[in-house]
Amino acid sequence: MTGRQTHLSSLTKRKLPIGIQTFCKMREENCYYVDKTAYMRRLVEEGSHFFLSRPRRFGKSLFLDTLKELFEGNAPLFEGLYICDHWDWSVRYPVVRLSFGSGNFKEPGYLQANLMAQLDGVERRAAVKSESATAPGRFAFLIEALHERAGQRVVVLIDEYDKPILDALEEPEIARANRDFLRGLYATIKDSDAHVKFVFLTGVSKFSKVSLFSGLNNLKDITLDARYSAICGYTDADLDTVFAPELPGLDRDEIRRWYNGYSWLGEEKVYNPFDILLLFDRRRFGAWWFETGTPTFLIETLISHGVGSLALDNMLGTDELLSAFDVDHIAPEALLFQTGYLTIRHTEPRGSRTYYRLGYPNQEVRQSLNESLLNHLTESPARQVEYIARLYDLLLVNDFVGLENLFKAFFASIPYQWHTKNNIADYEGYYASVFYSYFASVGLDIVVEDSSSHGRLDMAVRFNDNIYLFEFKVVESAAEGAAMAQLREKRYADKYRDLNQPIHLVAIAFSRETRNVVGFETVLA
């Protein structure tokens, strides 16, 4: 153990705030807390109407609850935090907080009933009563009445603003009805602007202003604002300071590889808080965040759009594309980015436009999403687990005959009906994507379309001090040998020779007719 580790282990541990989304409870129960109050001061100084999109379980609800306590002037809760000496605690603002975080929004009429119940609660606590029969009418009355009573403008906080729509996407008519209802509700905020001090809306998705925010066009979107890139989530510095007592016994580099990597244009990448808290609690690595949500709709959207796993780690998007999200039009790039399955790797300025290169944020997402894609193909998760475990064992001893048989068995297990109901335009890309998903689900070090001065290699894998260079071809017969010829002629192995590790050239041929592997050649480079 190093001196640094010895020092860290002597620090006092606190309670891990797993599942806690209320600021008051975190502070009163002596939980770990990453101070985000400097962002709050900046928000108030720079504007009054804000919108933030972040994936689920990223701390949006906690941030909103902290804002509530701040504006209500609960100073003792903020002792020792940045904002404590940078806020006028003599002024208290009335706060209306609404949340659509729970409920069955697939049920017709449920959204309206849910909101009415929330407004009942706000009115009861404020001792006011509206005579309006509509939710927007009651909302407008409440804002004006609270302003008049308190003598201070009202703070409006809305959490999970989009969940009633997202939950109903598989029922488009209900999703559209929920969207139209919310559009009227959010328009009320702008109509009540004379009575409003501050507005903050959070959600997972970013619906276009035309579809949802046409009545609230003064929102400032800080989703891709570098100044607010770490407004939710934990940074490396947070782990090394706030959570220092939890680090001993865990591999710091593995923590970074497994969970770091989310980027919204800031210099620092961030971790999903849920992953980190579960890691510190269970003391082992796992797909904690991924397992809390079943990406069935996501997988089906990718399949219906013909998006293979090879394309996921190198997508290109723009501001417009990453915001192209509505009930009747969901761009796969927007869906993947907004839900947290892809993140921004870097920006690529081209002329007057800025493009964003997207990729998996970390090991957890890469491994888990590809496993879900494979499960969708085989429709047999139990069999899939066996295949993945077998792949690792065979690769460990370089049993290429076994690997060939394994992949033949896998492709043979894909139901015929899957091919008939899914139109595959790019067969080579399809087969290569299946291979990629297999290796990614094992958690191996993979590079796709690896470029060199000689060309672009389909896939490179590094494992157990060996290098495997793959080339895929769809052929009419097994005798063509085009894949191996390309591997040799393009001299892809030259790029890796300095590593002084065995380099295996693996050429794989597929048949459209048999929908399976018909050629599997391997040689040492």
**pLDDT at 164 exceeding the cut of 90:** yes
Coil/strand/helix, residue 472 = strand
Scanning 72-134, the segments in alpha helix (DSSP H) are: 110-126
To the nearest 10°, report the CA torsion of 305, 310, 316, 321.
Answer: 20
Q: For residue 447, is it left (φ>0), alpha (ψ between -120 and 50) or beta? A: beta
Residue 201: which of 23, 42, 57, 64 has the closest Cα? 64
| Backbone φ and ψ of 474, nearest 5° | -100, 125
CB 15, CB 29: distance < 8 Å: yes
| Backbone φ and ψ of 453, nearest 5° | -70, -15
Q: How far apart are CA 262 and CA 286, in angstroms?
A: 17
Answer yes or no: CATH 3.40.1350 is held by domain 379-524.
yes
Q: How confident is the model at residue 448 (pLDDT cuts 50, 70, 90)?
A: confident
DSSP, res 217: T
Q: Which residues have C-beta within 8 Å of that of residue 146, sequence separation ≥ 6? A: 94, 96, 126, 128, 154, 195
**In one letter, which amino acid is 519?**
G
Per-residue model confidence (pLDDT) at position 303:
82
To the nearest 10°, report the CA torsion of 265, 270, 274, 278.
Answer: 160
The H or E element spanning position 334 is helix 332-338
pLDDT digits (tens, 9 = 90+) for 290-345: 998 867 888 888 888 888 888 888 899 888 888 777 888 888 899 999 999 999 99
For the chain, the structural domain boundaries read 3-12+233-291, 34-228, 293-359, 379-524
**pLDDT at 127 exceeding the cut of 50:** yes
Residue 337: which of 262, 272, 434, 436 has the closest Cα? 262
**From the candidate CATH numbers 3.40.50, 1.10.30, 3.90.1690, 3.10.260, the one assigned to the domain spanning 34-228:** 3.40.50
**pLDDT at 419 exceeding the cut of 70:** no
Q: Which residues have C-beta within 8 Å of that of residue 45, sequence separation ≥ 6? A: none
Q: Which residues have C-beta within 8 Å of that of residue 167, sequence separation ≥ 6? A: 104, 105, 106
Q: How far apart are CA 475 and CA 518, in angstroms?
A: 9
What's the alpha-carbon Rg for the chain, to the nearest Å?
A: 26
Q: Which residues have C-beta within 8 Å of that of residue 99, sequence separation ≥ 6? A: 61, 118, 158, 159, 160
pLDDT digits (tens, 9 = 90+) for 335-369: 999 999 999 999 999 988 999 999 999 999 999 99
Averaged pLDDT for residues 370-374: 90
Per-residue model confidence (pLDDT) at position 10:
46
**Rounded to whole angstroms, what are the CA distances from 123 to 120, 145, 473?**
5, 10, 67
pLDDT digits (tens, 9 = 90+) for 239-294: 999 999 999 999 999 999 999 999 999 888 999 999 999 999 999 999 999 998 86
